[in-house]
């Protein structure tokens, strides 16, 4: 739960900065302000959220315990501390502090240590549980891309901070920045989210598990292989070679993602539970955002507008697909774990509330809708280069996220056994 | 099945106190009725014991519990049912338990409903009775709760009649509580 609380705090802070016009699209994508907010989102929100979920989830899907119970907390502290070091490194020079030189590499080092520790714990657990099922393979591949992402990021921080390094290192931020973003957004976040959603959805919608689905296996091979080829092409091929190689690798990864979406559609169709819970409905919207992201990527690449509108694509992937799926699953995971903690030992010794008694779907549903609409508006406005409208959409998105955080807080602190209806007034959101 | 129920010995308290449980184990083995098995729980995998008891004519099947704990079933070799497939080591063990007194079909229920039904049913059962549950998934979150309440369990994947996969969980009420609590 410490992971989820820290992640949500970073998510809200980042969106507040975006709504205040602190970063993209009022500032360029590579401006220090934008870089600070992007890392607040990727490290503070998504990475922390995913690690918090994986520490619970990997033991469940593998049946093997993590090697340590305390090290995840050490990793969390190292990552959060390092993140704020990095933010100071990005932003300090804007306010006249010469902080980039020390804070960027030091913060990057702490973040890398935390990631290496967390990835080590998860990979050791996965290795012990071989042969791996399909969801676990997605997760293991996600961990490999996490290692690539922070290795590149750490090289960038060195290149920016320390003069006189060899040319290949100083040139790296210039030509490999997009590889860093690709490895993070597509490799680490997307593959991991795919693996987690595979099992969570079938579990909560009562759809048959598809560990042996051929389509599922090919979706994994193509998606992970395509992303790996794209990253390798970005790092080692010349510009002329990239012109034909990258679209080909991108097509392979895209085919994998499409197969995955078809798998998800199959899961929704094969479900035994007719009425969908809110978390599964919100997840369906996130899958729609993934499909739209693929369409937008293909459209921008075909019309040679990818470089100009990389930010738009980033918004859709970050807020529509990844954050949308994250919020939808938090809406199930928080009440489920809270229920287990609080009522697991009381089962069989008298009446116990149901998990769904900890949440109020009718109260939360409009906020999920508003969040989705705000993201759609932000993406559309950004595509049309209407920066001010994007900023307004960010403000609406922040409002919806605040309201959803309040719903999470309520689920965590609900006491349905003490009152026939959920208490109306609880202290404010975190 | 007319075979007697297995005897139960938990040597974790002896190990925790720094003691040497080997003599207690031999005493428990000597006290077994003909054909009776011994279920042993220890805070590590007692590998040296496997050979020692094999010399006395016992075969073993072991499985990890929560934490570092292990449970081992020592069965007199002559009573191991030979028709059991070799790929199901826990089957011989479950065979030694009494026939299920209650059965729950939890397929088609979403989590945590299977866990709720199992724990509520167990609360109405007497120690020594066996509950059989059929779940769609391996109920990972149930096991710590069973251990806390002193019930022993066996889980096996099963191919059910309709062609789907399910998990059969046998729970011996009070089966792990004899010495440990």
Helical (H) or strand (E) element with A265 = helix A239-270
Name the residue facing A208 among B120, B148, B164 (closest C-beta): B164
Q: Among the listed ranges A370-379, A384-393, B5-14, B69-78, which one has the minimum average pLDDT value?
A: B69-78
Q: Which two tokens stand for residue A196?
A: 């987690």
Distance (Å, whole) CA A78 – CA A84: 10
Asked whether the beta carbons of residue B140 and residue A63 sit closer than 8 angstroms, the reply is yes
Q: How far is CA A299 from the centre of its chain?
A: 24
CB B40 within 8 A of CB B72: yes
Could you give the residue ranges of the DSSP H alpha helices within A43-190? 48-62, 71-91, 100-128, 134-161, 167-170, 172-182
CA distance A42 to A47: 6
Q: Would you state the pLDDT for residue B95?
A: 62
Question: Of A261 and B68, which is predicted with more confidence?
Answer: A261
Quick one: which of B156, B167, B159 has its CA closest to B104? B167
Average pLDDT in the B11-18 region? 82
C-alpha to C-alpha distance for B152 and B181, rounded to whole angstroms? 13
Does A345 sit within 8 Å of B145, measured CB to CB?
Answer: yes
Among A378, A406, A403, smallest CA distance to A18 is for A378
* Residue B93 pLDDT level (bands cut at 50, 70, 90): low
Per the model's pLDDT, the better-predicted residue between B163 and A118 turns out to be A118
Tell me, what's the pLDDT at B167? 84
Segments of chain A with pLDDT less than 50:
422-430
| Higher-confidence position of B161 and A354 | A354
Q: Which residues pair with B20 in a beta bridge?
A: none
Neighbours of A204 (CB within 10 A): 21
Q: How far apart are CA A340 and CA A401, in angstroms?
A: 25
**Do A340 and B141 count as a contact with CB atoms less than 8 A apart?**
yes
CB B169 within 8 A of CB B153: yes
Nearest CA in chain A to B116: A347
A347 to B115: CB separation less than 8 angstroms, yes or no: yes
Residues of A with CB under 8 A from a CB of B: 59-60, 63, 203-206, 208-209, 272-273, 336, 339-340, 344-345, 347-349, 352, 355
Identify the contact set of chain B against chain A, taking CB-CB distances under 8 A.
108-112, 115-116, 119-123, 136-138, 140-141, 145, 148, 164-165
- Dist. CA B152–CA A278, nearest whole Å: 36
Give contacts of B122 with chain A, Cβ < 8 Å.
348
Q: Which region, left, alpha or beta, applies to residue B108 given φ > 0 means left and ψ of -120 to 50 means alpha?
A: left
Helix axes A191-205, A134-161, angle to 10 degrees: 150
CA geometry: angle A286, A287, A290, nearest 5 deg: 90
Which of B102, B108, B115, B116 to probe by mutation at the A interface, max A CB count within 10 Å?
A: B116
Q: Do A203 and B164 touch (CB under 8 A)?
A: no
Is residue A190 within 8 A of residue A145, CB to CB? The reply is: no
pLDDT of residue B178: 41
pLDDT at A406: 96
Chain A residue numbers with beta carbons less than 8 Å from the beta carbon of B112 are 336, 339-340, 355
3-state class (DSSP) for residue B172? strand
**Residue B160 pLDDT:** 62
The ipTM, to two decimals, is 0.74
pLDDT > 50? residue B85: no
How far is the alpha carbon of A304 from chain B, nearest alpha carbon, in Å?
47
Nearby residues of B18 by Cβ (< 8 Å), 6 or more positions away: none
pLDDT in tens, B17-41: 777 787 888 888 888 888 888 888 8
Contacts of A426 (CB under 8 A, 6+ apart): A409, A410, A413
Average pLDDT score over chain B: 77
Exposure string over B42-79, b if 16+ CB within 10 A, otherwise e: bbebbeebeeebeeeebbbbbeebeeebbbbbbbbeeb
- The pLDDT > 70 percentage for chain B reads 80
Specify the CATH number of the domain B7-78+88-95: 3.30.110.40
Show me where the domains of chain A are located. Answer: 1-215, 275-416+423-430
pLDDT digits (tens, 9 = 90+) for B133-149: 988 888 888 888 888 88
Domain ranges of chain B: 7-78+88-95, 102-172
Do B123 and A348 lie within an 8 Å CB cutoff?
yes
Query: C-alpha angle A306/A308/A309, rounded to 5°?
Result: 65
The CATH code for residues B102-172 is 3.30.110.40
pLDDT the model gives residue B180: 39
Rounded to whole angstroms, what are the CA distances from A360 to A8, A327, A414, A416, B116?
20, 15, 10, 11, 21
Is A56 within 8 Å of A333 (Cβ atoms)? yes
User: Which residues, 6 or more positions from A366, have their beta carbon under 8 angstroms from its beta carbon?
Assistant: none
State how far the Cα of B20 lies from the Cα of A321, in Å rounded to an integer: 58
pLDDT at site A171: 82
Question: B152 CA to chain A: closest CA distance, Å?
Answer: 16
- pLDDT score for B70: 82
Whole-number Å distance between alpha carbons of B128 and B139? 22
Q: Give residue B87's pLDDT.
A: 35
């Amino acid at each position: 739960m410490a992971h989820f609380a820290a992640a949500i705090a970073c998510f809200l802070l980042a969106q507040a900065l975006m709504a205040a016009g602190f970063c993209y699209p009022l500032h360029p994508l590579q401006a220090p302000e934008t870089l600070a907010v992007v890392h607040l989102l990727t490290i503070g929100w998504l990475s922390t959220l995913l690690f918090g979920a994986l520490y619970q989830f990997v033991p469940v899907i593998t049946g093997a315990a993590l090697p340590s119970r305390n090290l995840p907390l050490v990793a969390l502290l190292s990552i959060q501390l390092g993140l704020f070091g990095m933010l100071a490194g990005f932003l300090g020079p804007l306010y006249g502090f010469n902080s980039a030189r020390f804070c960027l590499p030091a913060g990057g080092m702490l973040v890398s240590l935390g990631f290496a520790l967390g990835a080590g714990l998860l990979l050791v657990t996965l290795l012990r549980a071989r042969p791996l099922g399909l969801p676990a393979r997605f997760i293991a591949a996600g961990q490999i891309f996490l290692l690539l992402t922070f290795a590149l990021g750490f090289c960038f921080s060195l290149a920016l901070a320390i003069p006189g390094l060899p040319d290949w290192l100083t040139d790296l931020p210039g030509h490999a920045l997009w590889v860093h973003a690709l490895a993070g957004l597509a490799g680490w976040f997307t593959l991991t989210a795919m693996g987690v959603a595979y099992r969570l959805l079938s579990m909560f919608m009562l759809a048959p598990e598809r560990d042996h689905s051929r389509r599922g296996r090919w979706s994994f091979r193509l998606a992970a292989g395509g992303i790996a080829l794209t990253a390798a092409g970005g790092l080692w091929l010349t510009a002329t070679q990239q012109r034909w190689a990258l679209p080909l690798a991108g097509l392979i990864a895209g085919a994998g993602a499409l197969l995955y979406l078809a798998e998800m559609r199959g899961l929704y169709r094969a479900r035994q539970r007719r009425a969908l819970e809110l978390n599964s409905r919100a997840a369906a919207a996130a899958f729609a955002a993934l499909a739209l992201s693929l369409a937008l990527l293909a459209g921008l690449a075909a019309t040679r507008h990818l470089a100009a509108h990389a930010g738009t694509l980033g918004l859709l992937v970050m807020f529509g697909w990844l954050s949308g799926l994250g919020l939808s699953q938090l809406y199930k995971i928080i009440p489920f774990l809270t229920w287990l903690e609080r009522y697991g030992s009381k089962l069989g010794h008298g009446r116990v509330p149901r998990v769904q008694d900890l949440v109020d779907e009718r109260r939360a549903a409009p906020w999920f809708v508003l969040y989705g609409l705000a993201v759609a508006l932000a993406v559309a406005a950004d595509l049309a280069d209407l920066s001010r409208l994007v900023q307004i959409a960010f403000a609406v998105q922040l409002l919806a996220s605040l309201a959803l955080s309040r719903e999470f807080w309520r689920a965590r602190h609900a006491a349905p056994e003490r009152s026939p209806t959920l208490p109306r007034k609880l202290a404010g959101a975190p | 099945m007319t075979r007697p129920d297995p005897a139960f010995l938990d040597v974790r308290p002896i190990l925790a106190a720094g003691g040497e449980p080997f003599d207690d184990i031999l005493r428990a083995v000597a006290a077994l009725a003909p054909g009776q098995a011994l279920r042993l729980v220890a805070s590590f995998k007692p590998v040296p014991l496997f050979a020692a008891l094999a010399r006395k004519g016992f075969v073993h099947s072991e499985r990890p519990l929560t934490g570092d704990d292990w449970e081992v079933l020592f069965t007199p070799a002559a009573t191991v049912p030979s028709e059991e497939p070799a790929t199901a080591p826990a089957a011989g063990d479950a065979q030694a338990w009494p026939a299920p007194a209650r059965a729950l079909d939890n397929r088609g229920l979403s989590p945590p409903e299977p866990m709720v039904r199992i724990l509520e049913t167990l609360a109405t059962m007497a120690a020594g009775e066996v509950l059989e549950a059929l779940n769609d998934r391996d109920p990972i979150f149930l096991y710590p709760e069973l251990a806390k309440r002193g019930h022993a369990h066996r889980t096996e994947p099963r191919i059910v009649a309709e062609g789907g996969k399910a998990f059969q969980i046998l729970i011996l009420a009070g089966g792990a509580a004899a010495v440990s609590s």
